[in-house]
Chain A
């Protein structure tokens, strides 16, 4: 007899660990959204592996009841990729900050896109290095000066959405950490997890301690009578590639997403910029290694290899 399982709720993904983020940190909203997304998809905690980099965002796995790997600064993506390659039955979620992903980890951010491995990468984007007291991060625009910076930024910010498109991510979206309108971020993360391929969500997140420019108040303003933050779907924007066998459509949707990603200031779009169900790295591996499709790598019989043919070739 199979005992009836109670459906999992977001509380099943919480831990009793004390959360030491600043009060009102935007990260709280993201943790809750991840927990809700996992509950929505009813993925058992032990099937989930959370990976993180270093910084405030790096502490996220400790607050989520799932296998948790708090790795090194900028190195979350290759660690998560290794975990996913070893066991494709795991739902792999990588999280990190904007400095972690777009600064010190930019090479890994870019190259993971090229691979299109089936995992989800969430970047907590607040424009500053919070844990080291508010230095400019790669998404802080030229000329901006937060209260903790001695001088304004004199480098351009990068555009994460456009960079993700150029790198090859097949699900590219932007969310907002403190969405008051319900479960919008949770639903977006759930879609990212369900997408087969590399999913990337840049999550606008407030740092109440060090970023006094992009505050909750700023995000909630209505500069021209319209909400600053809005959903792409409200404007009828369609980022999903319908026919993945049509390269023209793929290119057109990518170009559309890159164009849209430069909209900033009075209007900041949220939601899915681009999505295409393209061949994943796992599917490529199945072509090379027939076993890859049938069992997780860690379960392969690798203990009885016969190398006599290889030795014979050396005689």
Chain B
């Protein structure tokens, strides 16, 4: 583990304000200049099930979560010791994740009794949350509102945790003041009062000494970062910004975890951003509507998760055959198959997204691995769609959607929108006899397209095999030419997409071991290779394969063929990328480290898995610390 890092965690029943409280703490730490990496885990449930939010703070950028916790804020008993009445539960509470001398903040008037704790090397900080809230409100003559403002007991608990972390309560309280402005300013002040009350109580109980020192980490933050507060950005935000900057006209969606956040974020901002967001009756309608809009000249996209993508597949094949410029489909993976684990992490849809429909057809599949890459690919996906006239699938996942990390700036320079090859009739007469051929055979396979409404640009398109004019034909020679035209566009894309978009290589060129992965494992891998170097003296590198179709055969071959030792890292059961690499390059990656418990790799898990793989040479190592 990276020494010196701290993890703060809040857990409680779903619907109890976990997300809000976690974000408040994460923003506070981020504003202090600390480098934050945070993530929320939650059940497919509206109210009551265990949910928790982790905030890792460090003096340097981190890209993964830690199992180990320094301070836990428990809004219920289950957060501390698990649910003893539940069947088949591996979750025994977050108390066991506390470091020695770790602190558990809980409601002393709640169910949890200190005698239930099985550890004596930690500090149990019971806080009379409601009493403190009443007292704080009494000070401003609002004691009678305490029940109505019960949710502010969370703020009391957070205030106590800020002391335990060695934080600055004034800066913390300022987050609330900034959130509640204007007519709601009073709420900001009340929360600030509540935070202070919790902080003072903890100070008194802990004898004025914080076991941890956030401020020391703050002092160690290297100066390379921006002076103002960094962004605390989630993958879904980066995706939305990419779409907005790309000139998205219309986003369609059907609600599904964990994809909905992105669409709702766009929907909430559609007035200001001049964007149409349509909630459809299902994912079939979502993709078909997006295709209809793309055919009409719009930049369109839709967003879904595995079960929705399963319904969209006919639309992918249709868009590909009819050379629609798009749509751009964001596939936020979750645990499959079927309904699977609706709110949990998995990378199991790679094979599915590689070939989602019947027949041989071109589409582009790309898997960004961090917010900047998500922004870049989200933006560029629309250019690819327009330039190569095919659907583009962007493969992301639950973890990338919900994790948020400090980022100085989202780089948005040199963005060029390319709408591809467009036919203009320039006033030439419209009519059945005109010479415009929507699916004309061209040198590079791309036929200029007209936008419906343009005089002289009339065309037909059909999901049947068709001639250059877009009418149905089953002619054998036409079939050969059309297959070659469409599939040839993939070669064109492969030749034009820059190498930097295809793969990324991290670490030394002469590494002892080269790790191979894609998508969200990148963060955990980068943290793990740093640790392996520091603690084990193992020089490791990482090859992230980002463009998955067309597959970057040359780049991957060059990156892997001279590696001394190869280990695959994937957040799924079978190691799907390993199969693809072998199919496309002939290179066999002899060892895999896998995780398929519905949660992302923590730093400790991946390091443990890699150490085991390195030590044993086992072909298949699987890890899970059975997090909640």
Contact = CB atoms under 8 A, between A and B. Distances in A.
Contacts, number: 205
B446 interface: no
Contacts of B232: 314-315
A22 interface: no
A215 interface: no
B495 interface: no
A136 interface: no
Nearest to A18: B471
A85 B241 contact: no
A65 interface: yes
A311 B463 contact: no
Contacts of B187: none
Given A83-B292, A89-B453, A65 B252 contact: no
Interface string B254-277: 000000000000000111111110
B285 interface: yes
* B248, B270, B289, B297 interface centre (most CB from chain A within 10 Å): B289
A9 to B, nearest CB: 13
Contacts of B248: 302
Nearest to A75: B288
Interface string A275-315: 00000000001001101100011101111010101110011
B249 A82 contact: no
Given A15-B432, A46-B457, A79-B289, A289 B472 contact: no
B241 A288 contact: no
Contact of A79 (B291, B430, B433): B291
Nearest to A68: B460
Contact of B288 (A47, A62, A78, A297): A78
Contact of B249 (A72, A83, A300): A300
A70 interface: yes
Nearest to A312: B231
A45 B244 CA distance: 33
A247 interface: no
B460 A62 contact: yes
A21 interface: no
Contacts of A314: 231-233, 237
A79 B274 contact: no
Given A15-B432, A82-B289, A298 B451 contact: yes
Contacts of A89: 453
B296 A90 contact: yes
Interface in B466-506: 470-472
Contacts of A291: 274
A28 interface: no
A71 B463 contact: yes
Given A82-B290, A310-B241, A108 B285 contact: yes
A230 to B, nearest CB: 36
Contacts of A297: 249-250, 276, 293, 298
Contact of B417 (A54, A303, A310): A303
Given A62-B462, A82-B292, A85-B293, A90 B452 contact: yes
Interface string B266-310: 000111111110101110111011111111111110000000000
B249 A302 contact: yes
Contacts of A231: none
Contacts of A90: 296, 452-453
A71 B321 CA distance: 11
B61 interface: no
Nearest to A89: B453
B292 A68 contact: no
Contact of A71 (B281, B285, B288): B288
A84 B308 CA distance: 24
B252 A82 contact: yes
Contacts of B237: 310, 314
A307 B273 CA distance: 8
A82 B300 contact: yes
Interface string B376-418: 0000000000000000000000000000000000101000010
Contact of A311 (B241, B250, B274, B289): B241
B228 A302 contact: no
Given A62-B472, A83-B452, A78 B300 contact: no
A78 B452 contact: no
B472 A87 contact: no
A292 B276 contact: yes
A47 B292 contact: no
A138 interface: no
A201 B510 CA distance: 71
Contacts of B431: 12, 45, 65
B456 interface: yes
Contact of B289 (A46, A49, A78, A305): A78
B534 interface: no
B277 to A, nearest CB: 9
B452 A81 contact: no
B241 A46 contact: no
B17 interface: no
B247 A44 contact: no
Given A297-B249, A302-B247, A305-B245, A80 B274 contact: no
A181 B454 CA distance: 36
Nearest to B470: A68
Interface in B442-465: 451-464
Contacts of B318: 71-72, 75
Interface in B1-49: 30-31
Contact of A82 (B296, B314, B430): B296
B284 A75 contact: yes
Contacts of A49: 296, 452
A196 B291 CA distance: 24
Interface in A30-52: 44-47, 49, 51
Contacts of B460: 61-62, 67-70
Contacts of A296: 453
A288 B6 CA distance: 45
Contacts of B289: 78-79, 81-82, 85
A11 to B, nearest CB: 10
Contact of A310 (B269, B290, B298): B269
Given A14-B432, A68-B460, A85-B293, A311 B298 contact: no
Given A301-B274, A305-B244, A311-B410, 14 more contacts: A46-B455, A46-B458, A69-B460, A70-B462, A75-B318, A79-B295, A83-B292, A86-B298, A87-B298, A289-B276, A296-B453, A297-B293, A298-B297, A311-B241
**A-B interface, 10 closest residue pairs, ranked by CB to CB distance from nearest:** A82-B292, A70-B462, A86-B296, A82-B289, A79-B292, A78-B288, A82-B293, A111-B281, A86-B298, A68-B460
17 contacts: A17-B471, A45-B458, A46-B458, A61-B462, A69-B292, A71-B288, A71-B291, A72-B318, A75-B315, A75-B318, A81-B292, A82-B291, A86-B292, A107-B281, A111-B285, A296-B453, A298-B297
